[in-house]
Amino acid sequence: MTAAPTAPSQATAPPPFESPRLLVDIGGTQARFALETAPGHLAHPASLRCDEHADFHAVVRAYLDTVPAGLRVEHAAVATPNPVEGDQVRMTNYPWAFSIERTRQQLGLDTLMVVNDFTALAMALPRLDSSGVRQVGGGHARPRSSMGLLGSGSGLGVSALIPAGDGWVSLGSEGGHASFSPRDERELAVLRHAWTLYEHVSFERLLSGPGLVLTWRALAARAGRADDAPPTAVEITRRALQGGDALATETVEVFCNMLGTAAANLAVTLGASGGIYIGGAIVPRLGEAFDRSGFRARFESKGRFSRYVAAIPTFVITAPEATFIGASAILDSQLKALHATASVGILTQIRRASAGLSPAELRVAEYVLAQPRTVLNQPIAEIARAAGVSQPTVIRFCRSLGCEGLADFKLRLASGLTGTLPITHVQVTNDDSTAELGAKVLGNSASAILAMRDRLNRDMIERSIDLLAGARRVEFCALGSYAAVAVDAQYKFLRFGIAAGACTEARMQLLTVGVLGAGDVAVLISLGGRLPELLQVADRTRERGAAVIAITASGSPLARKADAVIAVDLFENATTQVPMIGRILKLLVIDILIVGVAMRRQGVSRLDAACGHDGPAGEGEAAPTLAHLTRQGG
């Protein structure tokens, strides 16, 4: 294990960050805060009660109002005890819900990263030294090996850390809901009692605060004391530690034994030769009483695999700031990844450059800072109009930041804004296992879809649907790996009785659009929007009086030639890899367009389309409805 962030000597102190980083750990009753001023240096710690604040934004704002004047926080990491999927976060242990992006804007942050608190705790494990953990029993951790994590509190958290290249991958898990298995008569009595309450009894039902109370009830009934009022989980552990209460002592004893079973199951499931770590609120509070309990003996009692698990060490996490350490590590890794692509800090760069900008350029800067995602999908004319400046001023503003022009600026801005997303792109490597490969590909696709959803320009979608719904004929043109998208689009439009073609060869594309005319539409599909062949097709289409819809990168040469642009900004190097995510995004754009056209042509209401209800049939033989198309795999 590497050393945990501690206060190093002045001679070896790391340089401070350009701005302190906000670390937040949201619990069921308290929200804990700290500012990380340099790697491993936490300052201004505070805990605020959640019930004294209206929402998540309010509690963070209340803390920021207490930090010294002049400290500007640009990046923040939040650990929350619930799954984080997409932009909307709904807390399971407190009635708060919030949008990550909206909150980032309200707080004036460049980056707001939200992660599951157990994911953060898992990422802290390689950074904890002997002062942050206490070993229970024998065994030796193998370096760069998988590690398991269990944590009992209001529930039972389960996670793991898998070595990947030079770093680690945290495994999201709901392992606490694995079925409980008793090992002796007492645990069988506990299970039978739990069966009277729950159809399925998981480890979490018993290895948690509520589980301590349930176990106490079961053991009380077994001892003929079923009428006794149960104490709280905190009171049970207090009585057990003080002694004199045999039932409380037995309850904690059974709890520790069951935890040993759960830990051993996790160890053999993961092959966790790097160790099993115990966190959460309950076990650290037991102190040395946990070390003397039957936990380790039960952990090693694994039949034919007893020798295997006996070699695996078990640790109790004692570092009070472990979650902060892990959240900090995830945030730092994400910021470094963004910096490696020369995209991080574009908003920060704008703020720092403000003093040297002309008054007109400053208006552009203020508009970008206020509406960064809106700017991504706006053409230069709209940006200029919104900022109250000329179009050349917008270009001068971009070049003052070292960008070649608006397109280059948007690429850097788009990449920088991905720092606010909870799902990020992870590079696939030759060392990946099959499981890691699948998780990365799916995660990268999900990240790109969420990013595109947030950047969709509704006006451009409406404009594109208007053009397609009124078109006499639609020609879809694409080259190379994106040819399949054009063919897919042709099939879907033909299924709705719309005259459509797909042309995927450059010379044929010029000949095809050469016979288009007013009322026709050419849809040009391209990753970067710079292919000379497609630029020629766009020019030829416009010469014939037909309209051009481009599904391509915003600000690209192809986008500038189009009547409507649906921007798909993605960084995939088509010269070194087969486009995967870009193709998925463009297929999704086609789906958006065909649903919109179908709604216009068939009179399907927005509600019916959303619910999958069939719309009224047209004249003669009805074209397939939205629901029918979906059922047919369209």
Q: How confident is the model over 349-367, as pLDDT tens digits?
A: 888 788 888 999 999 999 9
Does the structure show a pLDDT above 60 at 117? Answer: yes
pLDDT > 90: percent of the chain: 52
Q: Which numeric CATH code is attached to 133-318?
A: 3.40.367.20
Q: If you average pLDDT over residues 240-262, what whole number do you get?
A: 95
pTM > 0.75: no
Assign domain 341-420 one CATH number from 3.40.50.300, 3.40.640.10, 1.20.140.70, 1.10.10.10.
1.10.10.10
Residue bearing the bigger pLDDT, 426 or 375:
375
Contacts 24+ apart (CB under 8 A), 209-212: 209/152, 209/153, 209/154, 209/233, 209/234, 209/281, 209/282, 210/154, 211/152, 211/156, 211/255, 212/236, 212/237, 212/251, 212/252, 212/255, 212/282
- Name the residue with tokens 């898992």: 122
Query: Residue 191 burial (CB < 10 Å; 0-12/13-18/19+)?
Result: middle
Q: If you average pLDDT over residues 1-28, what whole number do you get?
A: 68
pLDDT of the residue at 8: 39
Residue 53 contacts by C-beta under 8 Å, 6 or more apart in sequence? Answer: 31, 59, 62
When pLDDT is cut at 50, 70 and 90, the band that residue 418 belongs to is: very low
Question: Which of these ranges, 413-417, 496-500, 615-619, 625-629, has the smallest mean pLDDT?
Answer: 615-619
Q: If you average pLDDT over residues 320-325, what whole number do you get?
A: 93
When pLDDT is cut at 50, 70 and 90, the band that residue 251 belongs to is: very high
Does the structure show a pLDDT above 90 at 537? Answer: yes
Q: How far apart are CA 236 and CA 308, in angstroms?
A: 34
Residue bearing the bigger pLDDT, 86 or 332:
332
CA within 13 Å, CB half, 600:
17
456-631 matches 133-318 in CATH topology: no
Q: How far apart are CA 46 and CA 27, in angstroms?
A: 13
Does the structure show a pLDDT above 60 at 283? Answer: yes
Q: How far apart are CA 448 and CA 425, in angstroms?
A: 8
Does the structure show a pLDDT above 50 at 105? Answer: yes
pLDDT tens string 543-576: 999 999 999 887 788 988 999 999 887 655 444 3
Q: Which CATH superfamily is domain 456-631 in?
A: Glucose-6-phosphate isomerase like protein; domain 1 (3.40.50.10490)
pLDDT of the residue at 626: 44
Residue closest to 329 by CA, chosen among 193, 573, 452, 161: 161
Assign domain 10-117 one CATH number from 2.40.50.140, 3.30.200.20, 3.90.1300.10, 3.30.420.40.
3.30.420.40
Does the structure show a pLDDT above 60 at 542? Answer: yes
Residue bearing the bigger pLDDT, 166 or 158:
158
Taken as a whole, the chain contains a residue count of: 634
pLDDT of the residue at 335: 79
pLDDT tens string 379-411: 888 999 999 999 999 999 988 888 878 877 887
Domain ranges of the chain: 10-117, 133-318, 341-420, 456-631
The full 3-state SS of 95-162, as one line of letters, equals CCEEEHHHHHHHHCCCEEEEEEHHHHHHHHHHHCCCCCEEEECCCCCCCCCCEEEEEECCCEEEEEEE
Distances (CA, A) of 462 to 455, 526, 564: 15, 20, 9
27, 81 Cβ separation under 8 angstroms:
yes
